[in-house]
Amino acid sequence: MLLVAKRSARQARAKALVQMRHLVITAPEELRLRLKGLTTYRLIIAGSRLRGDRSSDPVLGVAGAKVALSSLAHRIQSLELEIADLEARILVLVEQTAPELLGRFGVRPDTAASLLVTAGDNPERLHSEAAFAHLCGVSPIPASSGKTNGHVRLDSAGDRQANSALWRIVMVRIAHDPRTTAYFERKVKEGCSKRDVIRILKRYVVRELYRYLPRG
């Protein structure tokens, strides 16, 4: 439930930020020049400090633009506090349930929590790491019913949130773990598609993390 609430808050934050960017583009020139090109952090701070002056010429729309941008900026700041609170609560639960998961490279509270939710909702599927891999949608299956020449594809029937968590772990490792980076680059040079290499790495991550899932 905490993950659902956090995803909702993050989506709302992203939507509000896009709306702020669009309003900056269409704002009156004097306001647009002040806010154009600011980083996300500086845009939110600047937007939160805007105040609409009722005496402004309504035809120019400056006051309305300021009020709208200020409203969105304060909404984003409120959502950021909400997200931080939810993250802290999720971290506490993950540390209580499977603290060793957080010690694995690239595993963050969100990704660990997603895998724990999938495992907890399907305890009968934890009898082997292969079964858990199938549950997460990373078990390789033949690309067709005929001759496949060794080609496989992803299992689209797995849990989407768990699969997404594994994808994020793999992306972090490709970017920051030298061994994973070297493996990824070598396989691509050998002719494997990036998608296939990511699939292989997700399957490896399941094999690694399965042992740290709680039983019972």
- Give the pLDDT score at 159: 86
Q: Can you tell me the mean pLDDT for 111-132?
A: 89
Question: Which residue did the predictor score with more confidence, 109 or 126?
Answer: 109
Q: Can you tell me the mean pLDDT for 70-83?
A: 97
Instruction: Write down which residue in 92, 108, 132 finishes a domain.
Output: 92
pTM: 0.79
Same domain, 59 and 112: no
Q: Can you tell me the mean pLDDT for 116-120?
A: 92
Same domain, 54 and 128: no
Average pLDDT in the chain? 89
Confidence of residue 56 (pLDDT cuts 50, 70, 90): low
Cα of 76 vs its chain's centroid, Å: 17
The Cα–Cα gap between 205 and 129 comes to: 10
Instruction: Write down which residue in 42, 68, 92 finishes a domain.
Output: 92
Same domain, 113 and 203: yes
Count up the domains in the chain and report the number: 2
Same domain, 122 and 205: yes
The Cα–Cα gap between 78 and 86 comes to: 13
216 part of a folded domain: no
Same domain, 132 and 79: no
87 part of a folded domain: yes
The Cα–Cα gap between 5 and 8 comes to: 5
User: pLDDT tens-digit profile of 149-190?
Assistant: 555 555 566 789 999 999 999 999 999 999 999 999 999 999
* Domain, as residue range, for 201: 98-210
Sequential DSSP letters for 29-54: HHHHHHHTT--HHHHHHHHHT----T
138 part of a folded domain: yes
176 part of a folded domain: yes
